Amino acid sequence: MALVAVGLNHQTAPLEFRERVAFAPGDTASALAALTAQPGVREAAILSTCNRTELYCTVDGGAETTPAAWLQRHHQLTGERLGEFLYLHTDADAVRHLFRVATGLESMVLGEPQILGQVKDAYALAREAHTLNAPLERLFQNTFAVAKRVRSDTRIGANPVSVAFTAVRLAERLFADLGQACVLLIGAGETIELAARHLTEARVRRLIVANRTLENAQALAGRFGGYAITLADLPRHLAEADVVIASTASREPVLDRDTVAAALAERRRKPMFMVDIAVPRDIDPAVATIEDAFLYTIDDLRAVIDENLRGRREAARDAEAMIELSVEHFMGWWRALDLRNPVTQLRRHAESDRDEVLAKAQSMLARGRPADEVLAFLANTLTNKLLHAPSANLRAAALRGDADLLRAAERLFESEPTPPVNRES
């Protein structure tokens, strides 16, 4: 059995490709069912955020590339260059990768805290879909413990440099005084809530929150003194906005070129600054071709982010050391799990032999054979089947002088098991 992490992220793939392989939360359960139905795939969890799409699976030996092939088929990318952007990690490397992701070491914003919540969401969706067993369950629990320890014992989370903070910092650069600006937030999730908090701290003049569900928009707007609208109301209110920050889970753009062009005409060509931090994108990329519309995507935030990372890099080195120790601990458990596999395999073979012999015995009874004869057949045949392979292997060991195997077999088949050693005495 192997542990596999396969995916792509902001470091390996451009935005236009990342949005094509993203999974909407509502589609994840069916995707997990389809993934775990693939030959050799035992367990699966899907992590899909604005910066990454990753599959975490346990698979039978030889099936390590099955999840990657499924991902390509699922998104109908056959014949395209998905392989150029994918990474594949197995066993210890897969464990290390998930630990690094959850602690923010793989994020565009080093140490950003939102990713841990997204990993927890991926875990919860997999549990609801019943696609987790003991190995991945334990891996995710270890991941949460590692992330908590890294965040409490290092300064990896010092200084606010989340994507939401970075979007607001960019808005401050583009619009000299946010205290004179009207900001439109599209969405009502955690990222938008963080943006609203940072905007409030910057004393923004007016805040409008737009969301598909009005109640969610009202709840968020109410906490920050804003005004709530639905997405359907965007064309009527867009012209009021000096700055737009968008982050929804929509599969299609919520703002198209014509809507933005009409709003700018109403503003009499007064510029509008737009930051789209959603994947897939919320604002049609064609908006960037409109004069006086200044559109930035999540990939454009890199320069602002880099300026805020210096204080976290030393903490990241401490986090790396903690992660390495945690990988070693988990892999010790993982190797022990493999050592228990022969017991499972032995029981599986024994149960298969039992079912085969029992079926023959039942057939004999159905044909009217005497019960004593059938019982004798059942006992003798089952005994011979269960002892055949061990007996043949022990004879071969005796012929080649394999004393270690013979001594191990002697201990294995003792009628009274050796009592455990008390190491505390």
**Cα(158)–Cα(245) distance, integer angstroms:** 24
The letter for the amino acid at 301 is: L
Q: How far is CA 255 from the centre of its chain?
A: 28
Are 113 and 160 a contacting pair, CB within 8 Å?
Answer: no
Task: Give DSSP secondary structure letters for 248-276.
Answer: ---SS-SB-HHHHHHHHHHTTT--EEEEE
Catalytic residue among 5, 35, 50, 110: 50
Please choose, from the candidates 208, 215, 252, the residue with its C-alpha nearest in 3D space to the C-alpha of residue 234.
208
What is the spatial distance between Cα 147 and Cα 379, in angstroms, rounded to a whole number? Answer: 55
182: annotated active-site residue? no
Return the structure tokens found at 148.
Answer: 């908590």
DSSP 283: B
The sign of the torsion formed by the CA atoms of 229, 235, 236, 242 equals positive
Alpha-carbon distance of 228 to 209, in angstroms, equals 5
Which token pair is 10?
């902001």
The residues that are catalytic are 50
